[in-house]
Amino acid sequence: MKKLCTIAALALLLPTGALAQDGGRIETSGQFTAGVLQDNVNNDSSKFNEYRDIESGFNLFDLKFEGIDTETGRYLGFDGQNLTREDQSLRFGIGGYGTWSLSVDHKETPHNISNKAMTPYIYQGDGLYTVPAAVQIPNPILRPSNTEAAAGVLTDNDAAAAAWLENHLHGTELGTQRDSTSATLKYAPTKNLKLRLTYKEDHKDGTKLTYGPIGDRPPRSTNIQFTEPIDYLTREVKFEAEYNRDNFQSLFSYLVSDFKNDVDTLTWQSIYVNPLPGNDYETWGWTGNAKDYNVAQFGS
């Protein structure tokens, strides 16, 4: 399939300037590109935008600015792309050439898995998925049998489950967003010694595909495919010391990393049963003869 998009953009180069300040000389330059993008891509397809954000509308494609003191070597700079989109990136830097610097980098990366995903489940938070009502199957007593009558019983139950899904399916988001930010401080007290301190934070949230059992009479083990909530946070602090001489080089590095998963359990309700009266989702069951109703009651 051919994908087309049209971009109407305005690029503006900010003039380079020179200003006298405290006996120094500061030179500045900058540029930005802004415009309107119009696409004719079918938005039901997530493949075209799987790892990017191309949508019709206004966009600030890039923005750059740089200033430098030519006598002292001090500088300041900013560089950003797609600043109004979910795939934006930016970088800020300040420092003095050969002595010290501080840089901050930020990047956002979407992963669009599907724009057409459907589910009967309702997310309640904290990894819990429920359904609005149980499937009212016509034959709840399922005994192992090889007779044609038993096959008809299963067919009727499957038809009831299919009708229930048709009435309760609704759209759901399926994809993740990853935001990474890092800050690095560099300092060179001498020409031989260099010190670096880096802090990095990586956050990923959204939903991905997973699966689990919903229960049925043996030997059939019916599974479902549904969304799993993602909320990951990784933090890292890294210190490095580098010492170089003509005859040898040395490097010391120390890294501390911490990972946090805000959704560390996953529980889903069987579509065939509701919680027993007066109980919560940890005691799902059926009010009839439980030994004849072999279903998956919950999962985690």
Mean pLDDT value across residues 141-147:
52
Strand partners, 7: 37
DSSP 42-58: -TT--STTTTS---SEE
Give the helix ranges, DSSP H, for 148-234: 148-168
3-state SS assignment for residue 85 = coil
pLDDT by residue (tens digit) across 105-143? 999 999 999 888 999 999 998 888 888 887 877 776 655
- Residue 167 backbone dihedrals phi, psi, to 5 degrees: -85, -20
pLDDT by residue (tens digit) across 215-235? 554 445 677 788 999 999 999
pLDDT for residue 13 is more than 70: no
Mean pLDDT value across residues 273-292:
52
Residues in the chain: 300
Answer whether the bond into residue 144 is a cis peptide, omega within 30°.
Answer: no
> Structure tokens of 245?
């001489």
Give pLDDT, residue 68: 92
Q: CA–CA separation, 86 vs 18, rounded Å?
A: 36
Which of 234, 233, 237 is closest to 183 using CA atoms? Answer: 237
- Burial class from Cβ neighbours inside 10 Å (0-12, 13-18, 19+) for residue 1 reads exposed
Give pLDDT, residue 270: 77
Strand partners, 101: 95, 186
What's the pLDDT band for 287 if we cut at 50, 70, 90? very low
DSSP class of 148 = H
Which of 197, 206, 182 is closest to 86 using CA atoms? Answer: 206
pLDDT exceeding 90 applies to what percent of the chain?
A: 39
Contact 57, 14 (CB under 8 A): no
Contact 8, 36 (CB under 8 A): yes
pLDDT for residue 88 is more than 70: yes
pLDDT by residue (tens digit) across 24-55? 588 889 988 888 877 776 666 667 788 888 87
Q: CA–CA separation, 212 vs 168, rounded Å?
A: 19
The angle at the Cα of 159, spanning 158 to 164, to the nearest 5 degrees, equals: 95
Give pLDDT, residue 45: 66
Give pLDDT, residue 133: 82
Q: What is the identity of the amino acid at 62?
A: D
Alpha-carbon torsion angle 14, 20, 21, 26, nearest 10 = 40
> Between the CA of residue 87 and those of 111, 112, 172, what are the distances in Å?
10, 11, 21
